[in-house]
A and B are shown apart, each in its own frame.
Chain A
Amino acid sequence: MFITFALITLLGALGMLLQKNVVVAGLCMVAAFFGVAGLFVLLANPVAAALQIIVYTGAIMVLVLFVIMMLNSHEEEAGAARPVQRWLSLALIAVLAFAAVKLVLASAGLNALAVKGAEMPQAMTLQKVGTTLFADHLLGFEVAGLVLLAAMIGAVALTKRNL
């Protein structure tokens, strides 16, 4: 199960990067989000999975696709990246990937985490999410609300014709 979802996520992400067609790339991203949601379910956190789908695929990606369609960018971009840069970035990615794998495998904290993880069989519920948000992380939550308010004011200030 893990392999399946991980593969969906990875292939979706890769497809999103490699696809030249924007809409197809967006759909690949949706697939990747689905894979992540599946991983959340495997981590005994169905709430996060549901929220992932509601927020990311249900709202954000729909808006993104809406914008893409509105701009109607049918013409596919000519991939004019200079080959040197492409090779450099590939090498960088390879190094980073190698480092990440080494990081995960080499850390003894991983075992400690695995032990901890086995101790957390309880599924996350909406109640627990609510308690965490509104009791432990209240300040962060409220400030996040302010961030959205500020972004909204900014969107109006930047786009409205006659202020």
Chain B
Amino acid sequence: MDKLASLLHTSPAIAWMVAKLVIVFAGVFSLAAVWTWVERRGSAMIQDRIGPNRAALFGKIKIIGLAQPLADGIKFFFKEDLVPHDANKGLFWLAPFLALVPALMGFAVIPFGRSFVSGGQEYHLALLDPGNGMGLLYPLAIGGMAVYGVLVAAWSSNNKWSILGGMRSSAAMVSYEIGMSLAVVALFMRAGGYDPSEIITAQGGTLWKVLPNWNIFHQPLGFIVFFTCMFAETNRLPFDFAEGESEIVAGFNTEYGSMKFSLLALSEYCHLMTASALMATLYFGGWQVPFVQDPSVMLSVLSFLVKMLFFAWVFVWIRWTLPRFRYDQLMHLGWKAMLPMSMVNLVFHAWRMSQGH
């Protein structure tokens, strides 16, 4: 770290910050890109097809089609950039960025490994250090912002399908955010704090000597609610009402093409990564390694990555196995199942805490 600092002529703290920025953003971005490939291969596997396996580097190295995202990127980059005639030009341009920025920002407070001390200085493996006062309110806030990308894209396209998609996704967002927040509140109560580091620390150790002391085993109901709401938040199937290609063409991104479309698509996958990271942090111990007291830094990062990618895979898995809900079913589920469930969860755990557990 000191070497990097002297290389950049700055203090270690700033160098570390820069390094973290690069690692996190490059990591999330490239993972998101890879996940477009995982999705297509996964769908192929589930539907007994082959999937993209032809794209090859320099026309030789095929590596099971891993170069496909790269080829897609190049293709999108050189496609003609169309703006519909009656679209609101400024907003039409703005929308992909409005979608992408929150999707990336949400990751900032999530620790992707344990903190370590080097040269008398403590280094945290999260963009925002713990104790910043925002804690987990931050990803909740940013998650709420993500809908603006969809909304603006939908409205500025001046297309009926798009507006339908935008309206659906805004309604879904508002309906599911409440249940999700209440589920998270129960976690705050258990950890006695709302900083991700506190939540993770509270999940160290074991439960009844046989299970890791993860929140999923303490609050399974809360996890079900949170898990479901995350699908609604990320607009993924079975809740992909913003797109709903069997009903409203391609929903909010009907009119989008070329690089702007690829940004929208990328933002969806970034969002997916952030959501997976949140689930890993909140309910599966974050960087904690089961049955290991103080894991080494590399081990903790690895543990976090495994959990996160597992959930990212679950997103893909569910997308290709479950059918889409109908819009009214989504509302029913949100208000009549998820919200009461999260309330029951909250009250139950408050009661347990008042009993001294």
Contacts and interface: CB of A to CB of B under 8 A. Distances in A.
Contacts of A66: 167, 170-171, 174
Contact of B144 (A27, A46, A62, A127): A62
Interface string B129-169: 00011110110111111011001101100000001001100
B177 A123 contact: no
Contact of A123 (B133, B140, B147, B154): B133
B145 A58 contact: yes
A126 B135 contact: yes
Contact of B166 (A21, A63, A69, A126): A69
Contacts of B135: 126
Q: Which of A24, A54, A57, A63 has the most CB of B within 10 A?
A: A54
B97 interface: no
Contacts of B140: 50, 54, 58
Nearest to A63: B174
Q: Which of A23, A50, A59 has the most CB of B within 10 A?
A: A50
A124 B137 CA distance: 13
B27 to A, nearest CB: 25
Q: For the side of the interface on A, what is the size category? A: 20 to 34
Q: For the side of the interface on B, what is the size category? A: 20 to 34
B101 to A, nearest CB: 12
B182 interface: no
A102 B134 CA distance: 35
Given A63-B174, A126-B188, A57 B145 contact: yes
A62 B141 contact: no
A11 interface: no
A54 B155 contact: no
B147 to A, nearest CB: 6
B170 A125 contact: no
Contacts of A72: 163
Nearest to A44: B133
B133 A124 contact: yes
Interface string A59-73: 100110110011010
B133 A125 contact: yes
B202 to A, nearest CB: 15
B121 to A, nearest CB: 22
A50 B134 contact: yes
**Secondary structure of the B side of the interface?**
helix
A32 interface: no
Nearest to B152: A27
Given A54-B144, A62-B173, A126-B188, A47 B137 contact: yes
A49 B167 contact: no
B194 interface: yes
B34 interface: no
Given A53-B145, A62-B144, A24 B133 contact: no
A94 to B, nearest CB: 30
A115 to B, nearest CB: 23
B91 interface: yes
Interface string A37-52: 0000000111101110
A13 interface: no
Contacts of A47: 133-134, 137
Contact of A24 (B91, B138, B163): B91
A30 interface: yes
A62 B170 contact: yes
Contacts of B91: 23-24, 27
Nearest to B188: A126
Contacts of B174: 59, 62-63, 66
A118 to B, nearest CB: 19
B170 A65 contact: yes
B138 A50 contact: yes
Contacts of B188: 126
B133 A62 contact: no
B322 to A, nearest CB: 26
Given A49-B134, A50-B137, 16 more contacts: A21-B88, A23-B91, A27-B152, A46-B137, A47-B134, A50-B141, A53-B145, A54-B181, A57-B145, A58-B177, A59-B177, A62-B173, A65-B155, A69-B151, A69-B163, A126-B188
- 7 closest A-B pairs by CB: A58-B144, A50-B137, A46-B133, A53-B141, A66-B170, A46-B134, A123-B133
